[in-house]
Structures are given as structure tokens and as C-alpha cells.
Amino acid sequence: MYDAAIQYLQIRVSGRPEVAVVLGSGLGGFADQLADRVEVPYRGIPGWPQSTAAGHEGKLTFGKLGERLVAVMSGRAHLYEGYSPAQVVYGIRVLGKLGVRGLVLTNAAGGINLSYEPGSLVLISDHINLQGANPLVGPNDDSLGPRFPDMTDAYSQRYRMIAREVAARLGLHLKEGVYAAVLGPSYETPAEIRYLRTIGADMVGMSTAAECIAANHMGIQVLGLSCITNLAAGLRTGKVSHEEVLETGARIQATLRRFLTELIPQLEV
């Protein structure tokens, strides 16, 4: 099922990527940091879903950060676009089969925790999957992983420790919190945000959970980073808009780029 995509990529890229990064809405840019880049548009890769969301580019970039070969997905598929859970995690599985052992998932998120502000960078400590979908539903593909994977360390403690150290070294203020994954594409109602706070969520977004589950299934360690692009509904005056999400994303981009550039060579695989 993944073979055609793997072959397609292996023809174009030499070496095994160890770490992959998924860049969320309005958070592109990091891929340009890589040396000896090879860019592969999603549209040519067999089976790879195209991203339709504004602010998502739709290409895979391979390149070096120090000695490390890194794969960067600029743009992802979301359930709200109508993609199946299997399509949403297709790229993660192909990269996992190519040899990726560490995965950095970034996203734009609405802040629920009152100590967050637009522009805050938050390390995901855990998630609550409210998307009503799980990419592992259906017959288990034993070549990927076990039927019932554990999710205790879904966002690797080890990776979080490394991330905190790197952030401190750079003088970056990094918060930590629980990500609630919702289906979207409508933003939440104020009542839904009160509910999410009550059940323990610090931020909310429409991605990441399925990818994290698929990665854990394959034994890939995950680091999650949310860029708080807006205060969630009901915590603000005025409405939540995709424009605001993209604008704040663009504002955090340079910081995120600097952080990822320092962080990724440090992640153990």
C-alpha cells in the first residue's frame, strides 16, 4: 500500500531521514533552513493526499540539518477536508517506513489556558482526541505496529525534556499543555471552549492527534508544538478567523524556525 510512494521517494532522495517535521497552518518557512535540499511536491507522490487548506503548501522537503537528514512536510491533510483518517496519516506512515524514528508535529491552536497569549509557543504534553476518528480503526496492519498501542508517552517525555533545554538555551519562553483535537472546520462555540477547559484542555486545534497516534503505533517518538494563534472563542472580543490564525502564525514563524533548527539535531532517534 505504501510501496509505490516509498519507491518514488527513494529514487529522488539518497539516505535515510531520521526525523520528520510537519509544519502547520501558516508555519512554513522552516524547510528553507535545510542544506542540500530536495523538494518533492505532494502531487507527484503516489497515494499522497493534497492539502487544500489555505496556508498549506503541499510539498515534502528532504535536507540536512548538521549531519542529520530531515524530512519536512509543508502542509498536511485534515479530517475536515474530507480525508479519511488513513489518508490523514498516510505521509507519517510512508516516512516511518522510510526510516523516520522521531517526529515533530507543529500546529496552530486556539488558546484556552488563560496564561496563553497569541504568539505563545506551547509544548504539547498530551492530547484529548475528540475528532471521533482514529487512524487505527479497521484491520490492524501488523507491519506497522500492534493492535492496541499504548499512549502513555504519546508525546515523548525524553523529547520534551530536550525541547525545554533547547528553549532555555535560546531564551525562549516555552509553555506546556494539553491539546484538544476537534474535527472542525467550524471554530468552537464559547460553551464548547468552557467544556474543553473543564475536561483539562489548554489549547484546541483540528490536527495532530491522528498523526500522533499513527506515529506511536509505529514506535516513532513524537514531539508536539502548538503555536497559539488566537484566544479561543468566548475568551476574546470579536470573532475567531482563519486570517488571524495565519497572521499570528506568520509572526511566530521566525521563532519557530530558530527553535526547530536547534532542536532537531538534538533529538535522539
Active site members:
25, 56, 78, 80-81, 108, 206-207, 230, 242
Decide: is 177 part of the binding site for ligand HPA (CB under 6 A).
Answer: no
Q: Which is nearer to ligand HPA, 221 or 229 (CB)?
A: 229
Decide: is 187 part of the binding site for ligand HPA (CB under 6 A).
Answer: yes
- Interface residue with ligand HPA, options 63, 145, 205, 224 (CB under 6 A): 205
Decide: is 110 part of the binding site for ligand HPA (CB under 6 A).
Answer: yes
Task: Report the nearest approach of ligand HPA to the CB of residue 230 (Å).
Answer: 5
Decide: is 87 part of the binding site for ligand HPA (CB under 6 A).
Answer: no
Q: Which is nearer to ligand HPA, 34 or 227 (CB)?
A: 227
Task: Report the nearest approach of ligand HPA to the CB of residue 233 (Å).
Answer: 7
Decide: is 206 part of the binding site for ligand HPA (CB under 6 A).
Answer: yes
Decide: is 81 part of the binding site for ligand HPA (CB under 6 A).
Answer: no
Decide: is 225 part of the binding site for ligand HPA (CB under 6 A).
Answer: no
Cβ pair 165, 62 in contact under 8 A:
no
Q: Which is nearer to ligand HPA, 91 or 205 (CB)?
A: 205
Binding site for ligand HPA (CB under 6 A): 108-110, 187-188, 204-206, 229-230, 232, 240, 245
